[in-house]
Amino acid sequence: MPMSQLFQPLLLGALELPNRIVIAPMCQYSAEDGRATDWHTIHLGHLALSGAGLLVLEATAVSPEGRISPADLGLYSDEDEAALGRVLAAARRYSAMPIAVQLSHAGRKASSRAPWDGGTQIRPGEPGGWRTEAPSALAHAEGEDTPTALDHAGLARVRQGFVEAARRAARIGLDGIEIHGAHGYLLHQFLSPLANVRNDEYGGSLENRMRFPLEVFDAVREAFPTDRPVWMRLSATDWVPGGWDVESTIAMARALKARGCDAIHVSTGGVSPRQQIPLAPGYQLPFARQVKAAVDLPVIGVGLITEPEQAEAVIAGGDADAVALARAILYDPRWPWHAAAKLGARVAAPKQYWRSQPREFKDLFTGAAYVQR
C-alpha cells in the first residue's frame, strides 16, 4: 500500500503537526458566563485522545457582546482564562496533541439562542439578550434587531479585545490561534459588501473592507509568541451574487501572508440568509484548491469530508494541505484511528487504550507495547 499522505507531518509556522487531520472548531454552547465547564473537560479530553494532528477549540469570544449565544466560550476575563486553563491541563496530562483556539466576535449574529433552542435572535431587553454591533446598521435577517454600527472607538475596543484574548491564550499555553473571519461573524461582515456599507476608510473598496480584519490580524500576531502560529479562517464565497467571492479571498490571503500569517482555513457562507449552498461531499474544496494554487501558504480544507479515502484524496490530489473534520469526528471520535487502519498508517493513542488495537492492525498505534497477562 502506498504511504498515506494524510498521515504525513505538516508545519504551521514552527508548529509541527504529526498528521494532516485537524479537528475543526465546533461550538458547544455549554459555557457559563464565558467560562469552560465540566462539559468542555469531557468533550475536549476525548477529542485530544483521537490521534488527530491538531485540535482547534470552538469559536471563543473576545468580549461578552462578541458571543454568539449567552452560553458561548469566552477568553475575556480572568475567570475565563483560569477555567480554560484547567481544561487544557487535564487534556494535556494524557495527550501531546497540539491545541489551538479560534478567537471570534459574532458581530450582528450575536445574542442568539443555542441551536437546540431554535438559534433565533434574543432581542435586547429579553432575558439573556443584548444589542449587537457590526460594521453597519444592517440586521442579519429580516425582522431581527438592527445592530449598532461600530465607530472608531468601538473598533479600537474590539481590536483590543482580540489582543487581550491572544495574551490570555499565550499564558495558558495554547499552541496556536485561528482568527475567525468566516461564517458571517464580525470580521467576515467587514469583508462582505452585503454586510458592510460604510463610507469611511473601513468600507467601500476591497482594500478598505479588508482593513479592519487585517488590523486585527496584525494586533493578534504581535500579541502572541512569535514561535506559535496565527492563521485565519475565511469564507471563500457568500453564495450570494454581489457578495464576497474567491477572488477577494485570494487577495485577502495574499495580504495575510505578507503580514506573517501561517495558514488559511477555507470555508464558505454564513453572512446572509439569502445564500444558496449546493451541499455535496467536499463542496468547499474547489475554493481551497484555488486559494492553495494562488497563495504559498498551507491551506486547511473543510466541508462534508467524512471518509478516510476521501480525506486521503484531498491531500494526495493537492486540494488542501490538511483536512478539517467537524460533525464526522463528533460522530466518530476515533476517526483518525479508523482512517489510519484503512490507509495503512500509524497513529498516536494513549497507552491505556493500546490493548484495543485489533489483531489485524497490530502496528496501528505508535509506541504500543502491551502484553496481556
One DSSP character per residue, 219-255 reads: HHHHHS-TTS-EEEEEES--SSTTS--HHHHHHHHHH
Taking alpha carbons only, the member of 198, 177, 207, 228 closest to residue 57 is 177
Supply the pLDDT for residue 371: 46
pLDDT tens string, the chain, 373 residues long: the values are 689 999 999 999 999 999 999 999 999 999 999 999 999 999 999 999 999 999 999 999 999 999 999 999 999 999 999 999 999 999 999 999 999 999 999 999 999 999 999 999 999 999 999 999 999 999 999 999 999 999 999 999 999 999 999 999 999 999 999 999 999 999 999 999 999 999 999 999 999 999 999 999 999 999 999 999 999 999 999 999 999 999 999 999 999 999 999 999 999 999 999 999 988 998 999 999 999 999 999 999 999 999 999 999 999 999 999 999 999 999 999 999 999 999 999 999 999 999 998 888 888 998 765 444 4
Given the candidates 3.40.50.150, 3.20.20.70, 1.10.1670.10, 3.40.50.12780, the CATH classification of the domain at 10-361 is 3.20.20.70
Supply the pLDDT for residue 373: 46
**Single-letter amino acid code for the residue at 123:** R
Distance CA 8, CA 344 (A): 12
Distance CA 177, CA 170 (A): 9
Taking alpha carbons only, the member of 237, 179, 257 closest to residue 213 is 179
Query: Which residues are marked as active site?
Result: 185
CA dist 289 to 186, 262, 285, Å? 25, 17, 6
Supply the pLDDT for residue 305: 93
Supply the pLDDT for residue 1: 66
What are the cell numbers at 313?
484524496
